[in-house]
Structure 1
Amino acid sequence: MRIWLVLAGLNGAMAVGFAAWGSHGLEGDSARWVGLASQFQLLHAAALLGLARFCAEGRRLFRPAAFLMVAGIVLFSGSLYAKALGVALPVPMLTPLGGITFIVSWLLLIPAGWLAGDHARV
């Protein structure tokens, strides 16, 4: 549980900081990219808070969902932050890959939630 809470706090703080930077220090496309990246980062940081509880209960299917949310933050938000800074990405499709990672993490919650109702350690 500790790692997911730490990552939730770190990502929440980063998202707020990047949002402030984007709204006060950037213009045009860069400001929009940072705004979108920080919005998704903050949303998924909040979701990690909830997942931390289920992970602490030993429910195994929730751990991959939490891991994929963190990976999605790195890929999606990280690539947009890099783009706003003018950093060339080593792989051009990182942002969409991050979006797909987010979707898969949320879809993984379907069987995890379904099976959690049976009180099994799933």
Structure 2
Amino acid sequence: MKLVNQQSSKLYLVMIGISGFLAVAIGAFGAHALKGIIPPERMVIFETGNKYHFYHTIMSLIAIYFSEFTDNRIWKWASGFFLIGIVFFSFSLYALAITGIKILGAITPFGGVCFLVGWAFILFASIQSRKVP
């Protein structure tokens, strides 16, 4: 069982690494390639997606760290919801900002709900955990 948990954690760490890499690359793309090309109000949308992308990548990493030092699997659930939230929330905002297609904004709330669920799991796991690293 320990081996399965280690492999699961490694997969999460790979996904978090990809997410962090993309947050930096997409942020740089927005700052350098999009400035002056898309209207300022859509640039704000892009930057909001990038900000939440960073926040939740970092929080996902913290949740995986805590999952390794507690016996509570809820931390991994939190990390997973943060990563799913990034896909729906941040990437829908990136697409909306770049294309201007407003219907893409209808996807964003699903990501927001995933973020909220992840934070609720953090709260629940924190209350439930007996040991903290």
**Is the contact between residue 55 and residue 63 of structure 1 (CA under 8 Å) also seen in structure 2?**
yes
Measure, in 2, the Cα distance between the counterparts of 1:83 and 1:73: 14
Measure, in 2, the Cα distance between the counterparts of 1:23 and 1:116: 41
Moved more, 89-98 or 28-37: 89-98
Measure, in 2, the Cα distance between the counterparts of 1:79 and 1:68: 16
* 1:61-100 equivalent positions in 2, closer than 5 A: 61-86=74-99, 88=101, 93-100=106-113
> Per the alignment, do residues 14 and 91 of structure 1 end up closer, same or farther by CA in structure 2, a change over 3 Å counting?
closer
Query: Aligned residue for 1:47?
Result: 59
Measure, in 1, the Cα distance between the counterparts of 2:116 and 2:56: 11
What RMSD over aligned residues (CA atoms) do the two structures have, in Å?
A: 2.1
In terms of Rg, which structure is larger?
Answer: 2
Measure, in 1, the Cα distance between the counterparts of 2:99 and 2:47: 16
Query: Aligned residue for 1:37?
Result: 49
Query: Aligned residue for 2:12?
Result: 4
Moved more, 81-90 or 46-55: 81-90
Moved more, 46-55 or 87-96: 87-96
Q: How high is the TM-score relative to the length of structure 2?
A: 0.77
Gaps of 5+ in 1: none
More helix by share: 2
CA drift at 1:29: 2.9
How many residue pairs are counted as aligned between the two chains?
118
Q: How high is the TM-score relative to the length of structure 1?
A: 0.83
**Is the contact between residue 81 and residue 114 of structure 2 (CA under 8 Å) also seen in structure 1?**
yes
CA drift at 1:62: 1.2
Q: Deviations 1:32-91 (Å, cap 9, x if unpaired)?
A: 122111111111111111111233344211121111101100000010111123175877
Measure, in 2, the Cα distance between the counterparts of 1:24 and 1:92: 24
